[in-house]
């Protein structure tokens, strides 16, 4: 385990900084102006080269422009005053979804849930999917429920994954409200008192709170996973809440039963069930609110495979929304909601865009073809300020909680996103042969198979560089494209390094192989973990 | 049911007052105020002073006189009264020239002595740069920045040129140090220093106004966070500068507003803009080298990405550096397009220290191994730039009038004539020339008043008057003012070229036979070059 520089093992991660974004509209406007200027310059200022490449470049730039404008619009302001009743005391059920997580992890969450303060008594339920998922320890959860004096609802009929688990629990409970925690998300004592009062508004469908990773300093993966979350649970969700478009994130949320019943229950036919269920609820006129306070603390995916799977699920689920439930065509949504859902889902189209961008210098080096022909520095003078302002806006809006590693991981996920899109378009079901292993001696397991596309890109780039140099010599065009190539390769380095194996740090404690891992994957979806010694991981999409 | 409104978003603490949430890895953000080991600081200062001296002595002080230097010498050969009039007719302000005249009167008239004054200014700038660096950097990084500053090829060049640019750097640094002090502490001494530097600066170079403009823009951007008294005092300094400049402005207007002596500069392009920063960082490099360097601009994208670090904020002093490094150049670029072109990298040298500090500040925020690697690369490129700039015969700003004069002296006879175009290049040429042939300019110029404008219709007549009765013309073409090609083509089409030389890039010496009374003496030059 490695800690972030300057941190001790006992230091607590900051739970407030990422939530304290103050919009600076001057920078947002400047960002949009420079983005538009850059797009116009690319489109009209230069002689066009190869028309196909130019069209590809223009498409990517328009995508970026739409994302930037959408982002600036989202974070333009924050949610303002909402109706809140501190004395709200309607009955509520607490659901803790469990599917094979270590019993100790579930115990901690259940105890914390029981300890939550509320004006009236409430019941805690362990929604045990261990049996239907074939987990060996499913009986342990039932014993844990007895031990803690909470109710265990064990499903015996599979289907619908986590959404099915919740729907099953809804059919056996009766309170007008329920809250959901993943098994590894430990609620604070004040969760209910901070959240339930928003249901004083009769049309409030659900309340979402941040998904905070308490183990963010465990290793590189947890840090990156958290850094990526800061942007989403900082400015983006606050902005979405302002536009009544905050959506459910699967855990740390409270929901009105009648609203979800009206929406047809938790959506069981999409891998991003929370996202789509939110859409259905908004479509029926229910409101949502995002409370920017850390009221529960969970665990980030702690190895590359779990991170990869989490991202794959989010990508696939979001893309399914675009291709199968296009928000623009949904009738009950407001225009803001349509655009917000589209923006969130379309982010995952960026894999194709990034690949196109990354291929342009290679195409030049191999063929000499370029999208635009320019001998001036005009492109640089427009692009460089635009890029810097764009990144500064990201930093400012995340209250300086975002990181290069987070960006590098996002940009390097192009293959993941492309394969997810292919799976959606071909309507293939995808599952993972779970072989993630926790290296118990502190070493990093080998996940290089997951970054083979990035390694292939690097190899092709090297060949292209040789071909380009043989043709051009050290020309200005060659230098510019080599510089671009360097940028793309440098961006993929953190991703590749995170997937590569490493030896255990010197002096690391040897942990018995049978010791349970202290961490479990978290996020909007659970991912089972096993604690056997490290073996080669595999990602195997299953086709049926 | 009782309901109450709750603000979803409790106001975050103001950046100025109140507690700030603990940020991850925040320790990297704080510039330690510890002064560092004074012995180490002193040793590095001595090292840097030595580097500046070494650079100057190694190459630059031995360079041929340049056109601008020749003008400096010619101007400061006059009495103080005449000097002020000449400067008022030129495109500069007088302080440097007054100092240079005094310096030469005391220490000697030659160009090496004149260059030493610039070197003194650069040496004096070394400790001041460190003081400014300490405003944004820890001691080790500030010392590193100082080493880079001392090795900078651009500064080395102008620290050894008999012009006012190293003085402009020194005054700018004093101004920046005082400015950063007054906006944070408001100390009385700093205010006095700031006001004095502003007045001195505006009499050092017109472009110092861009330094003040950058400070003004910074104050406007930050006015909500600055104490009201600071803003009032800055406005007071602005008024003081205006009042101090007024006498010179009136004198300048009375002498024609330099309407006849402005250099003929083209409107700057995006390449010119990029070249300013390329020259700031890598010095004056040949076109092939510069093209390669500038073409690597996409790497700036990587820099932008790397700057995204948890908890790394743009503090006030760094924000000022951003403004100081870019606003003067952007303003000059814009004004050059909107009013009149005057976009030359040396005019904007005041932005260079801020740029170097910004680069080092950026480097210091990266992870340790990356920061060390980047720092080594920055220093390596800087030193390499200085060496190549000094040693490469293709360095573009290297005006070798000394070699040109020597070539003419070796070949020309009293029957020949030396023709210099542009006209004002007669000053650097005659600094070295002591040959038998007489010198003249094209267009013709009697050296009294502004140089004559070029008239293509009068070219044959003027050339005829110059060549009449002579055997050979030694045509020295440099400092193209828009008509060099016309002159060259005229000679090519009407006379027989017998030799040609290019002592330095952009400086051509061409020998034409214009009379046929005797055997060509230029044949003696045949083995020299051509």
Same domain, A426 and A367: yes
Does A143 have pLDDT greater than 90?
Answer: yes
Q: What is the pLDDT of residue A21?
A: 78
Beta pairing partners, A206: A255, A288
Per-residue confidence (pLDDT) for residue A136, from 0 to 100:
84
Interface touch B297/A480, C-beta < 8 Å: yes
Residue B300 has pLDDT above 80, yes or no: yes
Alpha carbons A301 and A537: distance in angstroms, whole number: 15
Residue B8 reports pLDDT greater than 90: no
Q: What is the ipTM of this complex?
A: 0.82
What pLDDT is recorded for position B93? Answer: 93
Confidence of residue B441 (pLDDT cuts 50, 70, 90): very high
pLDDT digits (tens, 9 = 90+) for B32-65: 455 668 899 999 999 999 999 998 887 666 788 9
pLDDT at B150: 97
Of A537, A309, A274, A325, nearest in space to A420 by CA: A309
Do A354 and A286 share a structural domain? no
Least confidently predicted of A205-209, A400-404, B5-9 = B5-9
Residue B421 to residues A328, B57, B463, B485, Cα–Cα distance (Å) = 70, 31, 12, 11
Indicate whether A352 and A234 sit together in one domain. no
A81–B8 C-beta distance less than 8 A: yes
Q: Among A468, A484, A499, where does a domain finish?
A: A499
Both A406 and A360 in one domain: the answer is yes
Greatest CA separation for chain A: 78
**B264 pLDDT exceeds 80?**
no
Q: How many angstroms separate the CA of residue B273 from the nearest CA in chain A?
A: 8
Question: Do B298 and A83 lie within an 8 Å CB cutoff?
Answer: no
Region B56-80 average pLDDT: 86
Query: Does residue B410 share a domain with residue B380?
Result: no
Answer yes or no: do B427 and B517 share one domain.
Answer: yes
Phi first, then psi: what are they for B441, rounded to 5°?
Answer: -120, 160
Q: Are A400 and A363 members of one domain?
A: yes
Average pLDDT over residues B261-290: 88
pLDDT at B367: 86
Verify that A152 and A233 share a domain, yes or no.
Answer: yes
Asked if residues B176 and B184 have their Cβ atoms less than 8 Å apart, the reply is no
CA atoms of B277 and B390, how far apart (whole Å): 19
- Give the Cβ contact number of residue B529 at 10 Å: 13
CB-closest option in A241, A403, A487 to B299? A487
**What is the chain B residue with the closest CA to A393?**
B308
Contact A403 B305 (CB under 8 A): no
A210 near B CB under 8 A: no
| Same domain membership, residue B187 and residue B136 | yes
Query: Between A157 and B168, whose confidence is greater?
Result: B168
CB pairs under 8 A between A and B: 159
Contacts of B367 in chain A (CB under 8 A): 5
Which A-chain residues 397-416 have CB contacts (< 8 A) with chain B?
399-404, 406-408
Mean pLDDT of A331-338: 94
Pairing of strands A212-213, A296-298: parallel
Higher pLDDT, B451 or A310: A310
Q: What is residue A378's three-state secondary structure?
A: helix
Cβ contact A381–B294 (<8 Å): no
Residue B238: CB partners within 8 Å, gap ≥ 6? B212, B216
A50 plus A154 within the same structural domain: no
Domain-terminating residue out of B357, B391, B425: B391
| Candidate from A377, A403, A476 with C-beta closest to B309 | A403
Q: Do B168 and B205 form a contact (C-beta atoms < 8 A)? A: yes
The answer to whether residue A10 neighbours chain B at the CB level (below 8 Å) is no
For residue A344, which of A64, A26, A67, A85 has the smallest C-alpha distance? Answer: A67
Q: What is the mean pLDDT of residues A18-38?
A: 91
Residues in chain B closer than 8 A to A83 (CB atoms): 3, 5
Please, what is the average pLDDT of chain B? 87
**Closest-CA distance of chain A to residue B292, Å:** 6
Chain B, nearest residue to A411 by Cα:
B305
Residues B407 and B264 in one domain: no
pLDDT of residue B265: 75
Segment 127-186 of chain A within 8 Å of chain B by CB = none
The minimal CB distance from A14 to the residues B9, B24, B304 is found for B24
Do the chains contact at A480 and B295, CB–CB below 8 Å? yes
CB-closest option in A21, A381, A401 to B310: A401
Query: Which residues of chain B neighbour A237 with C-beta distances below 8 Å?
Result: none
pLDDT over 70 percentage in chain B = 88
A386 and A467 fall within a common domain: yes
Cβ separation A79–B270 shorter than 8 A: no
**For A12-16, B365-369, B479-483, B492-496, which range has the lowest pLDDT when averaged over its residues?**
A12-16
Domain tally, chain A = 2
Q: Check whether residue B343 and residue B460 sit in a common domain.
A: no
DSSP letter for A104, please.
H
CATH of residue A211's domain is: 3.90.550.10
Q: Which two tokens stand for residue B27?
A: 């320790």
Does B270 sit within 8 Å of A381, measured CB to CB?
yes
A388 close to B (CB below 8 A): yes
Q: Which of B349, B371, B391 is the last residue of a domain?
A: B391
Q: Based on the fold, state whether residues B314 and B445 are members of the same structural domain.
A: no
What tens digit of pLDDT does each residue of B109-118 get? 999 999 999 9
Evaluate whether residue A459 is within a structural domain: yes
The pLDDT of A123-148, averaged and rounded, is 93
| Residue A517 included in any domain | no
Give the separation between CA A127 and CA B289, rounded to whole angstroms: 68
pLDDT average, residue stretch B136-160: 96
Can you give the pLDDT at residue A505?
A: 61
B45 and B139 co-located in one domain: yes
Quick check: A15 pLDDT over 90?
no
A95 pLDDT more than 70: yes
Let me know whether B312 and B381 are in one domain.
yes
Answer whether A16 sits within 8 Å of B21, measured CB to CB.
Answer: yes
Provide CB contacts within 8 A for A267, sequence distance 6+.
A163, A273, A276, A277, A280
| Residues A115 and A218 placed together within one structural domain of the fold | yes
The residue in chain B having the minimum alpha-carbon distance to the alpha carbon of residue A484 is B298
Task: Evaluate whether residue A492 is within a structural domain.
Answer: yes
- Give yes or no for residue A9 having a pLDDT over 50: no
State the pLDDT at residue A506.
Answer: 58
pLDDT for A12: 64
Phi/psi of residue A92, each to 5°?
-140, 145
Which residues, at least 6 apart from A198, have a Cβ–Cβ distance to it below 8 Å?
A82, A83, A84, A204, A207, A289, A291
Top pLDDT among B517 and A38 is at: A38
Q: Which CATH number do you get for residue B490?
A: 3.40.50
Q: Which helix or strand (DSSP H or E) is residue B499 part of?
A: strand B496-504
Same domain for A476 and A409, yes or no, is yes
Mention every residue, 6+ apart, whose C-beta is less than 8 A from residue A359.
none
Instruction: Name the phi and psi angles at A521, rounded to 5.
Output: -65, 145
Instruction: Give the mutation candidate from B304, B311, B319, B374 for the A interface (greatest A CB count, under 10 A).
Output: B304
Which pLDDT tens digit goes with each residue over B9-38?
Answer: 433 333 333 333 334 443 333 444 556 688
**Contact: A380, B270; criterion CB under 8 Å:** yes
Q: Give A-chain residues touching B355 at CB under 8 angstroms.
A: none
CB spacing of B270 vs A292 below 8 angstroms: no
Q: Does the pLDDT value for residue A258 go beyond 60?
A: yes
Identify the domain containing residue A470 by its residue range: 37-74+348-434+446-499
Q: Tell me, what's the pLDDT at A431?
A: 62
Kindly list the residues from chain A whose CB atom is less than 8 angstroms away from the CB atom of residue B294: 377, 476
Yes or no: say if A528 and A100 are a contact pair by the CB < 8 Å rule: yes
Contact A292 B304 (CB under 8 A): no
* Chain B contact for A23 (CB, 8 A cutoff): no
Task: Let me know if residue B314 belongs to a domain.
Answer: yes
Q: Write out pLDDT tens, residues A354-382.
A: 999 999 999 999 999 999 988 778 889 99
Residue A472 touches partner B, C-beta closer than 8 Å: no
A132 plus A243 within the same structural domain: yes
- Work out the minimum CA distance from B354 to partner chain A, whole angstroms: 17
Do the domain assignments include residue A326?
no
Mutate to test the interface with B, among A87, A483, A486 (most CBs of B within 10 A): A483
Contact B22 A80 (CB under 8 A): no
Supply the pLDDT for residue B257: 66
For residues B447 and B348, state if they share a domain: no
Nearest residue on chain A to B27, alpha-carbon basis: A6
Q: Is residue A248 part of a domain?
A: yes
Mean pLDDT of chain A: 86
By the 8 A CB rule, do A344 and A246 touch?
Answer: no
Question: A513 or B212: whose pLDDT is higher?
Answer: B212
**Nearest residue on chain A to B272, alpha-carbon basis:** A377
Given CA atoms A59, A61, A67, A69 in this order, what sign does their dihedral have?
negative
Question: Is the same domain home to A258 and A139?
Answer: yes
Q: Show the domain range for B453.
A: 401-525
Domain contains A216: yes
**How confident is the model at residue B341, as a pLDDT?**
87
Q: Which residue of B has its CA nearest to A230?
A: B310
Q: What is the mean pLDDT of residues B488-499?
A: 93
Question: What local confidence, expressed as pLDDT, does residue B231 receive?
Answer: 87
The token pair at A98 is 């469990």
- Of A29-43, B13-27, B82-96, B396-410, the one with minimum mean pLDDT is B13-27
Q: Do B8 and A292 touch (CB under 8 A)?
A: yes
- Would residue A359 count as lying in a domain? yes
A6-10, A200-204, A247-251, B417-421, range with the lowest pLDDT: A6-10
- Please identify, among B391, B421, B441, the residue that sits at the C-terminal boundary of a domain: B391
Domains identified in chain B, total number: 2
Residues B342 and B485 in one domain: no
Task: Look at residue A339 and tell me if it is in a domain.
Answer: no
Res B59: pLDDT: 66
Whether pLDDT at A326 is above 60? yes
In the prediction, which pLDDT does A509 show? 44
Kindly state whether residues B348 and B436 are assigned to the same domain. no
Asked whether the predicted pLDDT for residue A436 surpasses 70, the reply is no
Q: Does A40 touch chain B (CB under 8 A)?
A: no
Tell me the per-residue pLDDT of B185-232, one tens digit each, with 9 for 90 and over.
Answer: 878 899 999 999 999 999 999 999 999 999 999 999 888 888 888 888
- pLDDT of A439 reads 47
pTM, two decimal places: 0.83
Domain shared by B436 and B358, yes or no:
no
The residue with greater pLDDT, A525 or B140, is B140
The answer, for A394 touching chain B at a CB cutoff of 8 Å, is yes
Q: What is the mean pLDDT of residues B124-138?
A: 96
How many residues are recorded in chain A?
544
Yes or no: say if B183 and B175 are a contact pair by the CB < 8 Å rule.
no
What is chain B's length? 530
């Amino acid at each position: 385990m490695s800690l972030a520089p300057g941190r001790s093992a006992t230091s607590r991660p900051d739970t407030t900084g990422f939530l304290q974004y103050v919009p600076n509209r001057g920078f947002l406007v400047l960002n949009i102006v420079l983005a538009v200027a850059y797009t116009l310059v690319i489109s009209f200022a230069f002689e066009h080269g190869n028309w196909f490449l130019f069209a590809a470049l223009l498409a990517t730039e328009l995508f970026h422009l739409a994302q930037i404008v959408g982002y600036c619009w989202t974070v333009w302001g924050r949610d303002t005053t909402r109706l809140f009743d501190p004395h709200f005391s309607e009955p509520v059920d607490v659901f803790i979804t469990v599917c094979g997580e270590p019993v100790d992890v579930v115990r901690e969450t259940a105890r914390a849930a029981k300890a939550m303060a509320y004006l009236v008594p409430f019941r805690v339920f362990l929604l045990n999917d261990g049996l239907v998922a074939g987990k060996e320890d499913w009986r342990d959860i039932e014993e844990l429920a007895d031990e803690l004096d909470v109710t265990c609802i064990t499903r015996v009929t599979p289907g619908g994954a986590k959404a099915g688990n919740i729907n099953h629990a809804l059919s056996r409970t009766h309170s007008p409200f329920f809250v959901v925690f993943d098994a590894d998300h430990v609620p604070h004592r004040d969760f209910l008192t901070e959240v339930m009062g928003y249901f004083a508004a009769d049309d409030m469908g659900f309340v979402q709170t941040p998904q905070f990773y308490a183990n963010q300093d465990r290793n590189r993966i947890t840090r990156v996973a958290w850094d990526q979350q800061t942007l989403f649970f900082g400015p983006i969700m606050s902005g979405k809440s302002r536009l009544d478009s905050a959506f459910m994130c699967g855990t740390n949320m409270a929901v009105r039963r009648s609203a979800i019943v009206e929406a047809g229950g938790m959506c069981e036919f999409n891998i991003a069930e929370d996202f789509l269920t939110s859409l259905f609820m908004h479509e029926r006129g229910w409101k949502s609110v995002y409370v920017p306070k850390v009221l529960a603390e969970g665990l980030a995916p702690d190895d590359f495979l779990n991170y990869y799977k989490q991202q794959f699920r989010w990508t696939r689920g979001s893309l399914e929304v675009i291709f199968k439930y296009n928000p623009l065509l949904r009738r009950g949504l407001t225009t803001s909601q349509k655009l917000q859902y589209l923006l969130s889902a379309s982010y995952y189209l960026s894999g194709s865009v990034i690949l196109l961008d990354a291929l342009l210098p290679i195409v030049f080096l191999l063929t000499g073809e370029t999208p635009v022909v320019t001998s001036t520095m005009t492109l640089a003078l427009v692009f460089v300020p635009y890029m810097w302002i764009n990144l500064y806006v990201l930093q400012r809006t995340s209250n300086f909680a975002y990181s290069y590693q987070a960006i590098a991981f996002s940009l390097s996920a192009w293959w993941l996103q492309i394969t997810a899109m292919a799976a959606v378009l071909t309507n293939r079901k995808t599952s993972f042969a779970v072989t993630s292993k926790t290296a118990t001696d502190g070493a990093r397991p080998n996940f290089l198979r997951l970054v083979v596309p990035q390694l292939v890109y690097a190899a092709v780039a090297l060949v292209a560089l040789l071909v380009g140099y043989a043709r051009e010599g050290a020309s200005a065009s060659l230098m510019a494209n080599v510089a671009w190539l360097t940028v793309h390769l440098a961006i993929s380095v953190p991703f590749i390094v995170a997937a590569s194996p490493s030896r255990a740090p010197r002096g690391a404690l040897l942990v018995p192989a049978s010791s349970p891992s202290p961490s479990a994957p978290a996020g909007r979806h659970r991912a089972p973990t096993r604690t056997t010694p490290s073996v080669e991981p595999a990602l195997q999409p299953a086709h049926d | 049911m009782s309901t109450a409104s709750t603000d979803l978003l409790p106001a975050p603490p103001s950046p100025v007052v109140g507690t700030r949430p603990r940020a991850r890895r925040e320790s990297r953000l704080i510039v330690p105020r510890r002064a560092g080991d004074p012995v180490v600081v002193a040793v590095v200062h001595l090292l840097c002073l030595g580097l500046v001296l070494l650079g100057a002595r190694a190459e630059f002080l031995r360079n041929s006189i340049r056109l601008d230097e020749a003008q400096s010498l010619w101007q400061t050969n006059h009495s103080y009264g005449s000097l002020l009039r000449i400067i008022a007719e030129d495109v500069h302000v007088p302080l440097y020239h007054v100092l240079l005249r005094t310096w030469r009167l005391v220490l000697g008239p030659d160009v090496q002595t004149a260059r030493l004054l610039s070197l003194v200014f650069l040496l004096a700038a070394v400790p001041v740069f460190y003081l400014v660096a300490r405003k944004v950097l820890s001691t080790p990084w500030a010392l590193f920045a100082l080493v880079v500053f001392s090795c900078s090829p651009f500064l080395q060049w102008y620290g050894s040129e008999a012009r006012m640019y190293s003085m402009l750097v020194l005054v700018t640094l004093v101004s920046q140090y005082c400015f950063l002090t007054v906006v944070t502490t408001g100390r009385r001494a700093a205010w006095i220093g700031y006001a004095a530097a502003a007045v001195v600066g505006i009499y050092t170079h017109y472009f110092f106004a861009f330094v003040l403009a950058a400070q003004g823009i910074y104050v406007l951007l930050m006015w909500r966070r600055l104490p009201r008294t600071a803003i009032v005092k800055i406005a007071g300094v602005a008024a003081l500068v205006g009042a101090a400049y007024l006498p010179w402005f009136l004198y300048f207007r009375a002498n024609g507003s330099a309407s006849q002596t402005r250099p003929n500069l083209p409107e700057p392009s995006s390449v010119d803009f990029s070249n300013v920063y390329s020259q700031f960082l890598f010095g004056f490099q040949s076109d092939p080298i510069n093209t390669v360097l500038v073409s690597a601009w996409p790497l700036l994208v990587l820099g932008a990405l790397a700057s995204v670090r948890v908890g790394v904020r743009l503090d006030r002093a760094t924000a000022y550096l951003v403004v100081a490094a870019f606003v003067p150049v952007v303003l000059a670029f814009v004004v050059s397009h909107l009013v009149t072109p005057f976009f030359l990298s040396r005019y904007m040298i005041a932005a260079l220290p801020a740029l170097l500090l910004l680069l080092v500040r950026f480097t210091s925020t990266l992870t340790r191994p990356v920061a060390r690697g980047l720092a080594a690369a920055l220093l390596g490129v800087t030193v390499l730039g200085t060496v190549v700039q000094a040693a490469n015969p293709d360095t573009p700003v290297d005006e070798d009038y000394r070699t040109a004069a020597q070539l003419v002296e070796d070949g020309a006879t009293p029957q020949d004539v030396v023709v210099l175009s542009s006209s004002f290049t007669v000053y650097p040429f005659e600094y070295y020339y002591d040959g038998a042939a007489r010198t003249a300019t094209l267009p013709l110029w009697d050296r009294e008043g502004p140089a004559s404008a070029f008239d293509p219709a009068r070219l044959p007549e003027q050339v005829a008057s110059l060549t009449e009765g002579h055997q050979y013309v030694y045509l020295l073409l440099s400092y193209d003012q828009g008509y060099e090609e016309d002159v060259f083509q005229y000679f090519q089409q009407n006379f027989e070229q017998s030799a040609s030389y290019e002592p330095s890039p952009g400086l051509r010496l061409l020998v034409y036979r214009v009379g046929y009374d005797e055997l060509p003496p230029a044949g003696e030059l045949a083995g020299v070059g051509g």
